[in-house]
Amino acid sequence: MNRSKSTAAKTKLKAQAKNAAKHAAKPRRAVTALPRRQLRVPRAGLYEQAATRLRLLIVRGDLAPGQPLIEADLSDALGVSRTPLREALKQLASEGLVELRLNRSAIVAPLRRDELIELFEALGGIERCAAELAATRMVARDIEQLETMQQRIEWHHSRGEIRDYFEINQQIHSAIVGFARNSVLKATHDALLPRAERARFFGLSVLGRWEESVRDHQEILDTLKARDAGRAGQLLGHHVRRTGEVVAGTLPLEADETSSVKTSRDPRATAKRKAGP
């Protein structure tokens, strides 16, 4: 009797061991156990494209500060459904270009005098530090790149091509920060740049500022080529703060959310006309 029980126990243990070995040889794939919704790849392309087009319209002033962003109109103009459009608006809100409002249409973030001054104070400090580092870390090809871009902005300025000038101007500022070769500095600069872009574009339209900007960039380039870190930082920091002061000087001391909208615009027509492919 005892022998029978012992034999049965051994048989059971062998069966358990065999079963365990089988499962060990073919482990269950953990991926298949995850909820399907966690595996789906989001269609990020649509909202990113919508955000890019809207960002351009806001930066260039085609969508004015304080202007309501009507979802139905924008969805039709951009050729996207409301879901990616809303994701695009959330992205622009995180960049400080759009303000989301509960149970109301989002609006283009107004330009507020105090916020603008603070923004360019911070940006000026970052770019001043970047210029000081870049002056000592730039290599020959970096200087050549800045010289080429300087020639291009002078060309666009001579032809009155403000939008082309602005694009190269932005590239110059970003390039100098990149030449500092400091990833933390660059990440901080990138985070603030979207909010500063439209103020910079607007600043070029202020009487005399465009010409002043061209001269500033040439002087900054000369000091970088001379490896004069202190002077390069001083010039670039002042140049950036000056932009903030110029734009802030055109704004009222206290403005409500709609005061900066001078005329009523149809965002559907504006987006179709300006956004492009």
**207 Rama sector, left if φ>0, alpha if ψ -120 to 50, beta otherwise:** beta
Mean pLDDT of 21-30: 50
Whether residue 48 is found in the same domain as residue 93 = yes
Question: pLDDT (tens digit, 9 = 90+) per residue, 41-94?
Answer: 455 588 888 899 999 899 988 899 999 999 999 988 888 889 999 999 999 999
Q: Are residues 235 and 156 in the same domain?
A: yes
Residues 123-175 pLDDT 10s: 999 999 999 999 999 999 999 999 999 999 999 999 999 999 999 999 999 99
**Same domain (yes/no): 146, 218:** yes
- With respect to residue 6, please indicate whether it lies within any of the assigned structural domains: no
The reply to whether 25 falls in a domain is no
**pLDDT tens for each residue of 183-192:** 999 999 999 9
List the CATH number of the domain containing 266: 1.10.10.10
Q: Which of 229, 245, 131, 233 is nearest to 177 (CA)?
A: 131
Please report whether residue 224 resides in a domain. yes
Question: Residue 94: inside a domain, yes or no?
Answer: yes
> What is the pLDDT, as a whole number, of residue 268?
52
Domain assignment present for residue 151? The answer is yes
Contact 208, 146 (CB under 8 A): no
User: Are 67 and 125 found together in one domain?
Assistant: no
Tell me whether residue 9 is in a domain: no
| Sheet strands (E) in 70-139 | 98-101, 104-108
Residue 203, Ramachandran bin (φ over 0: left; ψ between -120 and 50: alpha; else beta): alpha
Cβ neighbours of residue 266 closer than 8 Å, sequence gap 6 or more: 73
In a domain, 137, yes or no: yes
pLDDT above 70 (res 245): yes
Confirm whether 18 is domain-assigned. Answer: no
Same domain (yes/no): 239, 126:
yes
* pTM of structure: 0.71
For residues 55 and 177, state if they share a domain. no
**Are 155 and 227 found together in one domain?**
yes
- Asked if 104 and 118 sit in the same domain, the reply is no
Produce one character per residue of 58-78: b if its CB has 16 or more CB atoms within 10 Å, e if not. bbbebbbbbbbbeeebbbebb
Low-confidence winner among 132-146, 228-242, 251-265 (lowest mean pLDDT): 251-265
Domain match, 194 and 94 both: no
70 & 175 share domain:
no
Q: Looking at residue 40, what is its pLDDT?
A: 47
Q: Can you give the pLDDT at residue 264?
A: 42
Q: What is the CATH number of the domain that holds 134?
A: 1.20.120.530
pLDDT band at 194; cut points 50, 70, 90: confident
Q: What's the pLDDT score for residue 15?
A: 63
Among the listed residues 95, 43, 80, the one whose alpha carbon sits nearest the alpha carbon of residue 268: 80
Q: Does residue 35 carry a pLDDT above 50? A: yes
pLDDT at 38 exceeding the cut of 70: no
Number of domains in the chain: 2
Structure confidence at residue 180 as a pLDDT band (50, 70, 90): very high
The answer to whether residues 123 and 243 belong to one domain is yes
What are the respective helix, strand and coil percentages of the chain, to the nearest 5?
A: 70, 5, 25
Same domain, 197 and 159: yes
* Residue 197: strand, helix, or coil: helix
Q: What is the mean pLDDT of the chain?
A: 83
Q: Which domain holds residue 205?
A: 113-248
| pLDDT value of residue 271 | 54
